[in-house]
Amino acid sequence: MYIQRILRRILTLLAVIWAAATLNFFLPQLAPKNPITEKLTQLAETSGISGNQIAVLTEAFNERFGLDQPLWKRYFDYLHDIATFDFGYSISSYPTRVGDLIGGALPWTLGLMITTTLVSFAIGTLVGAYAAWRRDSLLMQAVSSVLMVFSAIPFYLIGLVLIYFLAAKGGWFPISGGYSLFSIPGWNWSFALEVLHHSLLPALSIAIASIGIWAIGMRGMMVTVQGEDYMVFAKAKGLKPRRVFLRYGVRNAVLPQVTTLALFFGQVVTGAVLVEIVFGYPGMGNLLLESITLFDYPTIYGIVFILIVTIALSMLLVDLIYPLIDPRVRA
């Protein structure tokens, strides 16, 4: 029975990926502009290419990228590409392959987003749970108010404030970039420390806002479980307050947080787009924005498809681990 349930969920997963990937293909096609023409027009403004040459080059590149084919054929070629995770060449960065662009940007975003998501989840969940547990504490009431304020502020606005005070005024951190312009990337401690130094402000701007979001969600769930029968029974048995708090309160209240965490993990591959733009961080969010601006279909397809797969796999993983967290789900 359990194996049949897993197989059913896997089939549902594949259907969701196919449906989302289909939308991923057709939505960019609704744009009225030709990506090849847009790219060549930009080049013509700086290189002096004539209109006739643009027409000839447009025809040649349309054939090269398959844009001269019927839509149905392009769709089946696209399905073949995503099945093999080969998205071909980037239009805006030709002859660079999409896989190379994603491979260069993905580690930056994963390192930043996974770290900030886990740290903010852990801190925010515990602070929110304790704020609900000790509602009579003036300190926790003040902390809850501060977290609520920060949760309403977008990441990039916090980033701008941090840049002004800690980078521009204080000079303690670099203003932008993933590393110094004069540094040579490599697997060594000096470069790793430099990357860490450049990532602290973007990470701090994301964490400050995210901690408030996690804390408010956990606080609301913790308030609802405090009136449950099992909480009253645990207190009546004379269990230690710490055990009641962690084993009975936090364990049951954290379940919706885990689902939200899975969605967050599914979206880490795209990064915090505006944060990466504000800090000039070389991640996936920046790459996605540039691709959309330049109508770079292959790169858009590649990034969004990876996002689709990660979100779908994250939700499948939550379905599989939920019975381990909450034994009631097994029934």
Higher pLDDT, 35 or 90: 90
Q: What angle do CA 64, 66, 69 make, to 5 degrees?
A: 135
Residue 239 has what pLDDT?
A: 79
Residue 254 has what pLDDT?
A: 80
- Asked whether residue 1 is domain-assigned, the answer is no
- Percent of the chain at pLDDT exceeding 90: 0
Q: Determine how many CB atoms are found less than 10 A away from the CB of residue 287.
A: 29
Q: Residue 48: left if φ>0, alpha if ψ -120 to 50, beta else—which one? A: left
| Burial (CB count <10 Å: 0-12, 13-18, 19+), residue 87 | buried
CA dist 196 and 179 (Å) reads 9
pLDDT tens column, 121-146: 888 888 888 888 877 777 777 877 78
Q: Determine how many CB atoms are found less than 10 A away from the CB of residue 191.
A: 15
In this structure, what token pair is assigned to residue 326?
């909450």
Taking the model in full, what pTM does it have?
0.73
CATH number at residue 144: 1.10.3720.10
Residue 78 has what pLDDT?
A: 84
For residues 120 and 214, the answer to whether their CB atoms sit within 8 Å is: yes
- Asked whether residue 32 is domain-assigned, the answer is no
- Asked whether residue 274 is domain-assigned, the answer is yes
* Half-sphere exposure (Cβ direction) of 40: Cα atoms closer than 13 Å: 19
pLDDT tens column, 52-84: 666 777 777 777 777 777 878 888 888 888 888
- Choose the weakest-confidence range: 18-32, 180-194, 241-255: 180-194
- Residue 305, pLDDT > 80, answer yes
CA dist 298 and 74 (Å) reads 12
- Residue 269, pLDDT > 80, answer no
Structural domain total, the chain: 1
* Half-sphere exposure (Cβ direction) of 82: Cα atoms closer than 13 Å: 26
- Asked whether residue 116 is domain-assigned, the answer is yes
What is the residue-wise DSSP string for 209-221?
Answer: HHHHHHHHHHHHH
Shortest CA distance to 92 belongs to which of 304, 279, 289, 308? 289
Residue 29 has what pLDDT?
A: 74
- Asked whether residue 142 is domain-assigned, the answer is yes
Q: What is the mean pLDDT of residues 250-275?
A: 73
Residue 204 belongs to what domain range? Answer: 108-294
Residue with tokens 């349930």: 5
Mean pLDDT of the chain: 78
CA dist 242 and 248 (Å) reads 10
For residues 257 and 214, the answer to whether their CB atoms sit within 8 Å is: yes
| Confidence band of 171 (pLDDT split at 50, 70, 90) | confident
- Percent of the chain at pLDDT exceeding 70: 84
Residue 52 has what pLDDT?
A: 66
What does each C-alpha distance from 269 to 35, 99, 104, 306 come to in angstroms?
24, 14, 12, 8
- Asked whether residue 226 is domain-assigned, the answer is yes
CA dist 106 and 100 (Å) reads 10
- Asked whether residue 151 is domain-assigned, the answer is yes
- Asked whether residue 253 is domain-assigned, the answer is yes
Helices 255-267 and 189-225 cross at an angle (nearest 10°) of 150
- Residue 186, pLDDT > 80, answer no
Shortest CA distance to 200 belongs to which of 237, 167, 152? 167
- Residue 189, pLDDT > 80, answer no
Residue 43 has what pLDDT?
A: 65
